[in-house]
Amino acid sequence: MPESFNGDWLDLREPFDARARNGELATMLAAALPARPRILDLGAGTGALLRWLGHWIGRAQAWTLVDADGELLARAFETIRYRAEAVGWTVTAPDRRTLLVHAPGGAWRVEGLIADLNDAPDNLPLDRVDAVVNTALCDLVSEDWLADLADAVAEYGLPFYAAMNVDGRERFSPPHPADALVARGFARDQLRDKGFSGIALGARAPAAITRLFAGHGYSVHRAASPWVIGRRDGAMAAALAEGHALAASAWERRGEAAIERWIRDRQAQAEAGRLSARIGHADILALPA
């Protein structure tokens, strides 16, 4: 079973993802879709990508949110309803598995599918959708897993959109003597098996997506989508530093004391409004010929 993510962490990162994703690629995807597109969102979590990309599509649309964690999907439905009603949109539930968000440009139909993505693409309804999308997924998977998915997506001639793939470029500020140690351990952790049939792609994900889909004759478009965490973003900065330190400590045992000092200093800086960070990501859009 692939790793799951805490819903509170997904909520914390949502506004940073929304600011980072590249709007030009979203516009290109929306233009490539039919009048009422059917979107398959892999590893959908709490539905953050729907809440962002749905506005770029801007018309009637149907989404299938796929995740192995049923609690996250339930949270997605609650959050979608709450956010829609907060801006004055009507939300109805024709059955227990479906939401209809009555947006100004046309209704958004939302369904959930609980599925272990390690079994993908065999357990995905690729014959009933018009595009496959995801956020922060492809850097977790193995190259073999991604190759199998690319084969299946290309067989149906579907657009493929993968947002927020790490690219290995990251920087915390102000500088710290243990930055290189933490970065090295974190990079090693990104390559461990995350439950997708082998070692994870990590920062190699953007190049792997490009190569695999180009091999199927797709035109592949890439754009930078870095997280920019400012000094006023203390909660995000602290959570990010903690995650880096925990990951690094599992691989850099000889540097354990230095990593502990690093996280203490970083947490103090975050609390004092002195810590900022820039974490590199890339958005990839692959369009069939």
Question: Tens digits of per-residue pLDDT, 15-32?
Answer: 999 999 999 999 999 999
Cα–Cα distances in Å, from 156 out to 123, 128, 149, 152, 275? 15, 10, 11, 7, 46
**Domain regions of the chain by residue span:** 7-167+197-228+281-287
Is residue 75 a contact partner of residue 7, using CB atoms and an 8 Å limit? yes
In the block, which residue shows the tokens 């805490």?
6
Is residue 160 a contact partner of residue 226, using CB atoms and an 8 Å limit? no
**Mean pLDDT in residue range 265-278:** 98
Integer Cα distance of 189 and 4 in angstroms: 16
**Mean pLDDT in residue range 68-89:** 95
- Model confidence at 104: pLDDT above 80: yes
Express each pLDDT in 156-215 by its tens digit. 999 999 999 999 999 999 999 999 999 999 999 999 999 898 999 999 999 999 999 999
Q: Give the closest residue to 219 by CA, choosing from 160, 165, 164.
A: 160
Question: For residue 2, what pLDDT is reported?
Answer: 61
- Model confidence at 5: pLDDT above 80: no
Length of the chain: 289
Question: For residue 88, what pLDDT is reported?
Answer: 96
Tokens of 89: 């949109």
Confidence of residue 97 (pLDDT cuts 50, 70, 90): confident
Question: For residue 4, what pLDDT is reported?
Answer: 61
Please list, residue by residue across 156-193, b when 16 or more beta carbons sit within 10 angstroms of its beta carbon and e when fewer do.
Answer: eebbbbbbbbbbbebebeeebebbebbbebbbebbeee
Right CATH number for 7-167+197-228+281-287 from 3.10.50.40, 3.40.50.150, 3.40.190.10, 3.20.20.370?
Answer: 3.40.50.150
pTM of the model: 0.95
Question: For residue 6, what pLDDT is reported?
Answer: 85
**Mean pLDDT in residue range 218-247:** 97
- Model confidence at 1: pLDDT above 60: no
